[in-house]
Amino acid sequence: MTEIKFSARDVNVHYGDNHALKDVNVEIEDKTVTAFIGPSGCGKSTFLRCLNRMNDTIDICRVTGEITLDGEDIYHREVDPVQLRAKVGMVFQKPNPFPKSVYDNVAYGPRIHGLARTRADLDVIVEKSLRRGAIWDEVKDRLHEPGTGLSGGQQQRLCIARAIATEPEVLLMDEPCSALDPIATSQIEDLIDELRKNYSVVIVTHSMQQAARVSQRTAFFHLGHLVEFGETDQIFSTPHDPRTESYISGRIG
Amino acid sequence: MTEITSTGHYGSLLGDKATALGLRRRRNAERRLKAYGITAILLAGLALFALLGSVIWQAAGAVTEAYVTLPVELKADDIDPDATGDPKIILRGDFNGLTKDALKAAFPQVTGRSARRELYDVVSSGAAFELADHVAENPSLVGQTINFRFLASDITDLYLKGSFGALRPLPTAGRLTVALDGDEATLNSTEADFAGVLAVLKDQLVDDAKRLRVRAARQNNAVSVYETRIAEAADDDARAKSLAALERARTERDALLAEAERLEARAADTGAEDLDDEVRSVFVRAGGGWLKLTRLDASGAAAEVLAPPAGALADLAEWQLLTTDLPAAARKVSDTQIMVIEELRSGSAVDSVFNWRFFTAGDSREPELAGIWGATVGSFWTMLVTFLLAFPVGVAAAIYLEEFAPRNRFTDFIEININNLAAVPSIIFGLLGLAVVIGFFGVPRSAPLAGGMVMALMTLPTIIIAARATIAAVPPSIREAALGVGASQVQTTFHHVLPLAMPGILTGTIIGMARALGETAPLIMIGMVAFIVDIPTGITDSATVLPVQVYRWSDFPERAFEARTGAAICVLMIFLVLMNAVAIVLRRRFERRW
């Protein structure tokens, strides 16, 4: 049994009057890829954003319940969300590199967290991150060209490299492949599989095939409820809940 | 299926009358809209062209300045009687007197107090100071006679540029005989030259009479309007008012008609004609002398001697008959001055150069000495204060409101107030400046510091609104990316949002500053309309700014200030264009894609 990384108990999220997430209980394991699937608006992205308190930036959002990371309540008053986000990296749906050079994109996180003492240290971190982001070979000759000049798939891998440059413990991915073509998607999926060795990865995806391919555990959300959570193989072959079955077989969604 | 019977709801693409009609209507509507757009742009372009054209046309008169070169004897007694060679003592010399002596020496024939005064007015009153400076720099010149380039007065300059019309030659056919009698002279020509002049003068009288009749007709219209009003008046009060206006218009009309009739009678009279201030001057230039005709008939003329010819003239073939475009009463330059300037011009003593002085001198009551540099420097200091105050405060306010402030009633209230502030008339800011900046803080009046503070208040809302708009336009994905790698909100704002928003913020700032640069009203309230000759050297010196300079010069009676005003407007517009160009360059240069 692998170690539990995130543990959520009775999590409710309100956007103003809209009750977006209802009594979610889930446990996310370390060194595992956990996929959140479900139809649009079911609350899977909302829950993902709860895990690194990205929802704090939305004024009308209210989170109740308890989420612990390694046993510590991340919504505790004394927890600094900035520190949390350094620990829990995030990759977004749309590739969003900073309008800076490839190098600066990756180096930004380590710089602000003081991870590198010297320029050489930083170079090492940047190279290591780009290698782990499986993009080093493509950008090693253009480190000082703008990151926005890369192709969509390269940009997304750059964003992953940027996220892992700060040495997070968990990597959250919000539909990382939805803006990419099949080739780029398969590169990212290989990368996710690789990252699993070191990180706990949580991925939100619209593609059930993708969830089936990359994840070990899958959570199915529907209308704000966590309907079913279990081993990916079990969810896709013998779902317990009829809603899960309907969604997987394409009847709803 | 046998055949296709219908092409569907929209009919055929190629034919069909109903669709063709509809299409034509739609295309015509599109064409009309395009035509309206083009017309609007043409009208706007025409307006701009007219504006720029008229300003540049006006300013053309200030492009050059004229100098008069005269020999001047630097008498040691008047400058440096003890021969110290000390510039300070030299500067105290009577250079005004020396300048007058130089003019008197050049034109000994000009006598009499008023004629002399007109002679002195040919050169600028500032010329004596330049002579003083020149001699102070070269003390060895004292005691010598030098050729000095005196700055011409505004009247001379305008005359040389043709602002008072030209001096036109009339044809002469006969031989001239002049009998001199002191200041008077009697002229005769063997041909009917003077009859020709008389005819020209009579024509001009008829023309003048015609113009008067047009004005009288306009008054007559007014008379009939008031008559109808009296007939239709509702009460005695209105009737009395109209009656008074009617009387005024009637008197005016009758006076104009009487004057016109007088002129026509004068034109109809074939006898002798007296030449006074109201008819164009006629000069005879012969044998080195200048005669101004005073009385004229078909056979000959009487004249006043402006400059005596060398002895009596008899049977002279070479002579000139000259007439001005304007009567003496309608021009600032007198007959004596015309004579002096023409003599100087034919002696090549007049030259004209590019008017650098305009760009290097401060303000002056003398148009030929006035320059724009004082106002330019004043504008610079004012804009510097405005920028230093408005930019940081505006950007900080925008960042707070856009990135940190919670959305609640209070911030909404602030936002509404900032937007309203942008629409407050600038004179109100001037009053505020008078009360608070000068009255309460005790900032010196007329100082760029006070002006800059008021302008900063005025520019703030523009900067805040522009900065907020550009900060809000930075895509949220950039903020998320920064927050996602664990940047704090301050780091996100200053490392990512602000650099991306900076071009827009700078553009907004420059546009706001450009508006402030062209602003006059608030500065009137805080005393920046003063007459300031010195170039301001800091933000607490008294100063004026470009638009105020334009406003002041446009109000001065001297005609030469017209050209100065036009030139000042050009300088102001060049600054505005430059600022806008900088804004565009900044936007293009630093615009980043994401």
Interface residue of A93, A94, A112, A174 to substitute, partner B, most B CBs within 10 Å: A112
- Nearest-angstrom CA–CA distance, A219 and A244: 10
Which DSSP category does B330 fall into? Answer: G
* Side chain identity at residue A241, one-letter code: D
pLDDT given at position A2 = 67
- The residue assigned the tokens 């007959």 is B335
In angstroms, the Cα distances linking B22 to B19, B34, B36 are: 5, 19, 21
Contact criterion met (CB below 8 Å) for A94 and A119: no
pLDDT of B208 above 80: yes
Sequence-separated (6 or more) residues with CB below 8 Å from residue B53: none
* Interchain CB contact of A48 with B (< 8 Å): no
Contact criterion met (CB below 8 Å) for A101 and A90: no
Closest CA to B447 of B350, B382, B515, B512: B382
What ipTM did this prediction achieve? 0.88
pLDDT of B89 above 60: yes
Average pLDDT over residues A183-195: 87
- Residue A186 token pair: 């398969």
* Side chain identity at residue B19, one-letter code: T
Task: Please report how the helices B448-473 and B409-421 are oriented relative to each other, as an axis angle in degrees rounded to 10.
Answer: 130
pLDDT-derived band at B546, boundaries 50, 70, 90 = very high
CA B192 to chain centre: 46
Q: Which residues pair with A172 in a beta bridge?
A: A90, A202
- Nearest-angstrom CA–CA distance, B149 and B349: 9
Task: Report CA torsion sign: B479, B485, B490, B495.
Answer: negative
Residue-wise pLDDT for B574-590, tens only, equals 999 998 898 888 888 87
pLDDT given at position B34 = 97
Q: How many CB atoms neighbour CB A117 within 10 A?
A: 8
Query: For the residues of B134-157, what is the DSSP string, one character each?
Result: HHHH-GGGTTSEEEEEEEBPHHHH
Torsion angle in degrees (nearest 10) through CA of B253, B255, B256, B259: 160
pLDDT-derived band at B86, boundaries 50, 70, 90 = confident
Helix (H) or strand (E) holding B300: strand B300-307
A90 neighbourhood in chain B, CB within 8 Å: 480, 484
pLDDT given at position B3 = 52
Task: Please indicate whether residue B456 or residue B327 has the higher confidence score (pLDDT).
Answer: B456
Q: Where are the alpha helices (DSSP H) in B60-153?
A: 76-79, 87-91, 95-106, 113-120, 127-137
In angstroms, the Cα distances linking B216 to A120, A246, B248 are: 95, 99, 13
pLDDT of B215 above 80: yes
Q: Do B478 and A165 touch (CB under 8 A)?
A: no
Q: Do B481 and A148 touch (CB under 8 A)?
A: no
Q: Which residues pair with B313 in a beta bridge?
A: B178
Pair type for strands A225-231 and B289-296: unpaired
Average pLDDT over residues B302-328: 82
- Nearest-angstrom CA–CA distance, B572 and B56: 12
Residue-wise pLDDT for B47-57, tens only, equals 999 999 999 99
B488: nearest CA partner in chain A:
A82
Gap from A3 CA to chain B (nearest CA, Å):
24
Least confident of A191-195, A222-226, B170-174: B170-174
Interface residue of A49, A54, A59, A82 to substitute, partner B, most B CBs within 10 Å: A82
In angstroms, the Cα distances linking A139 to A106, A147, B42, B549 are: 12, 9, 52, 60
pLDDT-derived band at B1, boundaries 50, 70, 90 = very low
Q: Which residues pair with B70 in a beta bridge?
A: B148
Q: How many CB atoms neighbour CB A244 within 10 A?
A: 23
- Residue B139 token pair: 């003390």
Residue-wise pLDDT for B469-479, tens only, equals 999 999 989 99
Task: Report CA torsion sign: B383, B389, B395, B397.
Answer: negative
Question: What is the percentage of chain B residues whose pLDDT exceeds 70?
Answer: 97
Contact criterion met (CB below 8 Å) for A244 and A235: yes
Query: For the residues of B448-475, what is the DSSP string, one character each?
Result: HHHHHHHHHHHHHHHHHHHHHHHHHHS-
* Interchain CB contact of A54 with B (< 8 Å): yes
Tell whether pTM > 0.90. Answer: no
Q: Do A85 and B406 touch (CB under 8 A)?
A: no
pLDDT of B15 above 80: no
Written in H, E and C, the secondary structure of B480-509 is: HHHHHCCCCHHHHHHHHHHHHHHHHHHHHH
pLDDT of B289 above 90: no
- Residue B351 token pair: 């030259």
Which DSSP category does A146 fall into? Answer: B
pLDDT-derived band at B11, boundaries 50, 70, 90 = low
Helix (H) or strand (E) holding B185: strand B184-189
pLDDT of B594 above 50: no
In this complex, the residue of B483, B487, B495 whose CB is nearest that of residue A54 is B483
Q: Do B481 and A96 touch (CB under 8 A)?
A: yes
* Interchain CB contact of A107 with B (< 8 Å): no
* Side chain identity at residue B506, one-letter code: L
Least confident of A221-225, B18-22, B145-149, B153-157: B18-22
Least confident of B28-42, B555-569, B578-592: B578-592
Residue-wise pLDDT for B92-140, tens only, equals 888 899 999 999 998 888 888 888 999 999 999 899 999 999 988 888 8
Q: What mean pLDDT is reported for chain B?
A: 88
Most confident of A71-75, A79-83, B26-30, B281-285: B26-30
- Nearest-angstrom CA–CA distance, B349 and A125: 82
